[in-house]
């Protein structure tokens, strides 16, 4: 793989991009980009590092022998990418062997620290809890205090080519999430990218790829932040191979920007419990991937029903304005499986709470489907 033709375009938005050329596979050449609105245009910069990080997983997946980038790359990041490649080779059973990184080594820092932190922000349980914990634990004067929340188009919205860009859904979500970040005293920074389009394989995206793209966003904004949080999906007891993982995310760091996978000590139910104590967060909780019209959450998909069941277990669904429904019934589980993509831990932790609530109808349904 060759990464070349770095450029920046300043129009109604600000876009940085590069040309990706595959050498060993028949994948077509592609321009990949990271973009933000003009309001935040001074915070993004052309970063060869961002494109190296954002493309390394597809390069491994398509069995490229090298990545060649004519740019200076932090030797600390290069060491981290060696670890990432070793993990990918292990997790894939040797199907994604390491490749050679051809670049020049950066001799020092690109700039002085700015003492500013940012985070990935989707409005889901993990990111809302991460923001809430940050506000409860960090004083505003601390460099780890989150000031920028990056809301990304090209993941669940606009990430799958066949489903279309759905910019109207993204714009609606930005407006909703801005109410949360405004109250928290942070900036909501909309970001657009097409890195996921390099390989539209869902399993690769979930279990190998998406953390690298999150890290690439961090590097593209590394002139304005020097600390970047990625909220955990799974707690320590239930870790498995994943695109975002406490063994991987920090390895995408350089000496210009530190990336942290946070809150892996927190089970999902504890994060949800934390949100029941934050009315605005609870009313703006966005977990749905269906992106239906006129509703933040569809109330029917697996993620919606799972989250609503957790809120039932905590006695808080009736207070959650993010959902139209005020209860969960067993028939709502009929359309989907709950044993795919390592979701079982999220359901098992609900069982003791549901039993305590006397909701044996839901307990029996979950146990049956777990079998």
Q: Quote the pLDDT of residue 163.
A: 78
Please compute the mean of the pLDDT values over residues 182-190 and round it to a whole number: 97
Q: Quote the pLDDT of residue 293.
A: 74
- The two tokens of residue 250 are 């920090």
> Backbone phi, then psi, for 317, in 5-degree steps?
-60, -35
Q: Which residue has the higher pLDDT, 127 or 289?
A: 127
Split at pLDDT 50, 70, 90, the class of 169 is confident
Q: Quote the pLDDT of residue 164.
A: 79
Q: What is the pLDDT of residues 243-257, one digit of tens each?
A: 999 999 999 999 999
Q: What is the pLDDT of residues 64-84, one digit of tens each?
A: 999 999 999 999 999 999 999
Average pLDDT, the chain: 95
Split at pLDDT 50, 70, 90, the class of 290 is confident
Split at pLDDT 50, 70, 90, the class of 316 is very high
Is 110's pLDDT higher than 90?
no
**End-to-end Cα distance, the chain:** 44
Q: Are 63 and 23 in contact (CB under 8 A)?
A: no
- The two tokens of residue 351 are 């069982």
Split at pLDDT 50, 70, 90, the class of 287 is very high
Q: Quote the pLDDT of residue 134.
A: 98
DSSP letter string over 111-135?
S-----EEEE--SSHHHHHHHHHHH
Alpha helix positions (H), the chain = 48-61, 75-91, 125-137, 167-184, 202-204, 210-220, 268-275, 279-283, 302-313, 344-348, 351-357, 360-370
Percentage, residues of the chain above pLDDT 70: 100
d(CA 280, CA 134): 16
Predicted model pTM:
0.95
Q: Are 194 and 32 in contact (CB under 8 A)?
A: yes
d(CA 158, CA 298): 18
Split at pLDDT 50, 70, 90, the class of 160 is confident
Q: Quote the pLDDT of residue 348.
A: 97
Q: Which residue has the tokens 């390394």?
A: 56
Is 324's pLDDT higher than 90?
yes
Split at pLDDT 50, 70, 90, the class of 97 is very high
Is 218's pLDDT higher than 80?
yes
Helix (H) / strand (E) containing 284: none
Of the candidates 307, 317, 316, 292, the residue with the CA atom closest to the CA atom of residue 338 = 307
Is 291's pLDDT higher than 80?
no
């Amino acid at each position: 793989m060759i990464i070349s033709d770095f450029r920046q375009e300043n129009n109604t938005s600000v876009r940085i991009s590069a040309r990706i050329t595959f050498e060993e596979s028949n994948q077509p050449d592609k321009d990949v980009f990271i973009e933000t609105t003009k309001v935040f245009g001074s915070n993004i910069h052309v970063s060869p590092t961002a494109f190296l990080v954002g493309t390394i997983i597809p390069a491994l997946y398509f069995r490229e022998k090298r990545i060649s980038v004519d740019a200076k790359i932090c030797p600390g990041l290069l060491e981290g990418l060696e670890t990432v490649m070793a993990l990918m080779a292990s997790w894939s059973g040797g199907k994604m062997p390491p490749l050679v990184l051809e670049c020049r080594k950066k001799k020092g820092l690109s700039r002085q620290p700015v003492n500013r932190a940012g985070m990935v922000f989707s409005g889901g349980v993990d990111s809302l809890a991460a923001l809430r914990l940050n506000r409860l634990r960090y004083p505003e004067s601390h460099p780890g205090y989150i000031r920028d929340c990056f809301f990304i188009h090209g993941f669940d919205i606009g990430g799958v080519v066949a489903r279309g860009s759905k910019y109207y859904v993204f714009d609606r979500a930005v407006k909703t999430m801005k109410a949360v970040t405004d109250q928290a005293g942070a900036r909501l920074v909309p970001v657009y990218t097409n890195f996921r389009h390099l390989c539209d394989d869902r399993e690769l995206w979930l279990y190998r790829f998406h953390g690298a793209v999150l890290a690439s966003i961090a590097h593209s904004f590394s002139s304005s932040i020097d600390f970047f949080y990625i909220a955990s999906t799974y707690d320590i007891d239930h870790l498995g191979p994943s695109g975002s993982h406490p063994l991987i995310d920090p390895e995408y760091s350089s000496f210009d920007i530190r990336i942290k996978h946070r809150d892996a000590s927190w089970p999902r139910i504890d994060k949800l419990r934390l949100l029941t104590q934050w009315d605005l967060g609870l009313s703006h909780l966005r977990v749905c991937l269906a992106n239906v019209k006129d509703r933040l959450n569809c109330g029917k998909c697996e993620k919606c029903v799972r989250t609503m069941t957790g809120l039932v277990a905590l006695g808080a669904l009736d207070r959650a304005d993010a959902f139209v429904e005020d209860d969960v019934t067993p028939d709502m589980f009929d359309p989907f499986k709950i044993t795919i993509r390592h979701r079982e831990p999220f359901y098992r932790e609900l069982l003791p709470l549901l039993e305590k609530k006397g909701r044996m109808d839901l307990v029996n349904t979950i146990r049956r489907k777990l079998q």
